[in-house]
Amino acid sequence: MIIRDYIIKEVLRTFSGVFIVLFLIILSTQFLRSLSLVADGKIALDFLFIVIFLKNIESLTLIIPLTLFLAILLALSRLYKDSEMIALSACGIGPNSLLKSILIVIFSFVFLEVGLSMVLAPWANNKMQHAEESFKSQAVLELITPGQFNLADNGQRVLFTEEMPEPTKLKNVFFHVENADSSSVMASDDAKIVTDSKQGARYLVFQDGNRYDGSAGSLDYRFIKFKDYSVLMEGKQPEKIIAGRKAMSTLELLNKNGLPYKAELQWRISQILMMIILAIIAVPLSKTAPRQGRYGKMAIGILLYIGYSNLLVLAMNWLRKGVISPIIGMWWVHALFLLLFIILFLCQMGWLCGFKRKGRDVLHCPSELVDN
């Protein structure tokens, strides 16, 4: 009991350190990417923190499996390096007992990963999709950049202003609107942003300007000179949002029959299975000689994770395109790495790789420590 608690404590302590490092790397990367979008005028500063928060929730589904895998690998490698595993072997703590202790840690994280991949990540995607659509329909004026052509409604409206001396005032304004069969152009020296106090809608009011209506390449056009001309810029309700596959709840995916929906459902389940299989692979993979060093298997472990995740992405794409049937789906990838675990574990037990099994529950000492 004491030894089991000691092993669990070592794994959890290493998990905390690895998680902080990986999470900070992901957070800083997303923060810099989002800041570039703010600098380009694609999102507002207030929307920045919402995007970072929601994307970090989605990233946790990939961070947790990798962190747990590396934590077990590093924690057990340290025990081998410091020869503590040899002492535990003398006490009867072998691969079976070690695996049972690690399984306690694994299944404590299974509930977290199930909640993230099945519930929280789809919820975050759904919220992000709604936030983006709402932002597109209500944040046009916040994104006005003087000296640049500002696009709205997928390029149907183009606004240019030479300068903005105040947040609600524009100088030398050009506004182009593309209609179904014609286009309109408004131009004025001054314009201002006016908010309707009752409805909350906001208008761009052109002052002492001109309007031109007509079709491109045609001489038939209309010219209007106005004192004040108001254009509704915000206030329309966003269109009904159809949730994408990633934004659908797991229950919705279960009721869908298309291959893309089955691929998305299997992907969510695969995040959980990958965490479990990688974690148990770390047990035999962590076995090292004392002189080999604690980080001797890190490169192998990272390559193993990259190979596993890339094969899952490949299998998901095959399933979406109908290259493989849903019965095979992404399960063959998990079966492949589960077979790898069985081979590594049997080698550690001494049943393969040319070693003699000397006991069911005894870890073998390194060969350099055994008398010839």
Token pair listed for 253: 């995916």
Q: Work out the burial of residue 14: count CB atoms within 10 Å of its CB; fewer than 13 is exposed, 13-18 middle, 19 or more buried.
A: buried
Please tell me whether residues 108 and 252 are part of one structural domain: yes
**Average of pLDDT values for 343-354?**
75
Contacts 24+ apart (CB under 8 A), 100-105: 100/4, 101/3, 101/4, 101/7, 101/8, 102/7, 102/11, 102/72, 102/279, 102/280, 102/282, 102/283, 103/280, 104/4, 104/8, 105/8, 105/11, 105/12, 105/68, 105/72, 105/279
Separation CA 166–CA 160 (nearest Å)? 16
For residues 107 and 20, membership in a common domain is answered with: yes
Question: Token pair 């069911």 is at which residue?
Answer: 360
What pLDDT, on a 0 to 100 scale, did the predictor assign at position 203?
A: 79
Which of 178, 199, 234 is a domain's end point? 234
Q: What is the mean pLDDT of the chain?
A: 79
Q: How confident is the model at residue 43 (pLDDT cuts 50, 70, 90)?
A: low
| Location of structure tokens 């003699």 | 356
My answer on whether 156 and 282 are in the same domain is no
Higher pLDDT, 80 or 357: 80
Averaging pLDDT over each range in 114-128, 195-209, 217-231, 330-344, which range is the top one?
330-344
Is 122 found in the same domain as 149?
no
User: pLDDT at residue 68 above 80?
Assistant: yes
Q: Which residues contact 88 (CB under 8 A, 6 or more apart)?
A: 3, 79, 98, 363
pLDDT per residue as tens digits for the range 224-250: 888 888 877 754 444 555 667 788 888
The two beta strands, 149-152 and 157-166, are antiparallel
Mean pLDDT of 184-201: 78
Tens digits of residue pLDDT in 152-165: 766 677 888 888 88
Q: Interior CA angle at 90 toward 88 and 92, to 5°?
A: 75
pLDDT at 330: 93
Domain around 334: 2-136+242-355
User: Do 115 and 252 share a domain, yes or no?
Assistant: yes
- Summarised one tens digit per residue, pLDDT across range 204-215 is 888 888 888 887
Looking at the structure of the chain, the number of domains it has is 2
Sheet holding 202-214: strands in order across? 149-152, 157-166, 169-178, 183-195, 202-214, 221-234
Per-residue model confidence (pLDDT) at position 294: 60
**pLDDT surpassing 50 at residue 371:** no
Residues 101 and 190 in one domain: no
Question: Pick the residue with more confidence: 101 or 19?
Answer: 19
Q: Are residues 216 and 131 in the same domain?
A: no
Judgement on whether residues 148 and 270 belong to the same structural domain of the protein = no
